[in-house]
Amino acid sequence: MEVETDTAATVPPPPPPTDAIVSQLPWIEKYRPKSLSELIAHDEIITILNKLIESNRLPHLLFHGPPGTGKTSTIIACAKKMFGEKYSSMTLELNASDDRGIDVVRDQIKEFAGTKKLFSTGVKLIILDEADAMTADAQAALRRVIEKYTANTRFCMICNYVNKITPALQSRCTRFRFAPLQSEQIQGRLDEVVMSESVNASESGKRAILQLAGGDLRRVLNLLQVTIAPSPAQSSAIKTFVHFVIRHIYIHMYAAFCQMGFVVHDYCSPHTWQRTHLETLWTNKQCI
């Protein structure tokens, strides 16, 4: 087993993000819970996890359920509770839908799990988001890695469809199902974001967002953010971009028709079309 020095003990943690950086974050990240107490649902699961962490008996975990129900936020909050300032050096986060091959298991996961930190107590944590996208070979390799490094590493697999996780992996994990959130549970967080961002949202508008979200808090925040009217500067930038895209598409269509031998009248040329039709499309909002 490889050994590396615990840099977290000597190097101070990175400074917190500035207000300017935070203001530019997507709201799903800006308002992600930072601790288990900030989670808005699944009290029974949170109670169990708190007891397991406090007694130092955390098993391998398998979180499954629909998207936007707090699976990733829960395990990240657990990791921050376990490691504090050493969170970044003791936790490995991978999105299995991007890093889904067997090479990732053999390289990144195996290297992280097989490296022991000096002057650190406890276990490391590997978070595999969207684990149901992993190939069968990658899951088989992961099973062997879990067996080999259980003494100093815990794994948390997160997925939407538990039936896509092999029985061999499921049997090695404690499973927690995250059900869709109730509208009453989401309402408080929605009101908090509306107030914090000074959003002029009507009650009927908020009810519509809750209905469209279907118990998915991530979708609630995304819908709320995209429905805010852009500033004049943003509106001008959007208009310029849309004009460019439409003209670019039309030029290619015009050239394609000419190459195929069609007779294209002069009034349909890109220059004339742009002058006479582009503003009309924008004014009538037919281009967005």
Domain spans in the chain, listed from the N-terminal domain onward: 2-177, 184-226, 232-283
How many residues does the structure list for the chain?
Answer: 288
Q: Which amino acid is at 174?
A: T
- Of the ranges 101-110, 146-155, 263-272, which one carries the lowest mean pLDDT score? 263-272
For the cut 70, the answer to whether the pLDDT of residue 150 exceeds it is yes
Q: Indicate the pLDDT class of residue 128, thresholds 50, 70 and 90.
A: very high
Q: Which CATH architecture has domain 2-177?
A: 3-Layer(aba) Sandwich (3.40)
Q: Indicate the pLDDT class of residue 288, thresholds 50, 70 and 90.
A: very low
- Tokens, residue 135: 């190939």
CA dihedral over 192, 194, 198, 202, signed as positive or negative: negative
> What average pLDDT does the structure give for the chain?
79
- What number is the average pLDDT over the span 28-47? 92
Round to whole Å and give the CA distance between 225 and 115: 41
Q: What pLDDT sits at residue 275?
A: 46
Residues 6+ apart with CB under 8 A from 227: 205, 209
Q: What pLDDT sits at residue 104?
A: 74
Q: What pLDDT sits at residue 201?
A: 84
For the cut 50, the answer to whether the pLDDT of residue 55 exceeds it is yes
Residues 6+ apart with CB under 8 A from 77: 33, 34, 35, 36, 38, 39
Label residue 71 exposed, middle or buried (CB < 10 Å: 0-12, 13-18, 19+): buried
Task: Tell me the percentage of the chain whose pLDDT exceeds 90.
Answer: 38
Q: Indicate the pLDDT class of residue 6, thresholds 50, 70 and 90.
A: very low
Q: What pLDDT sits at residue 282?
A: 44
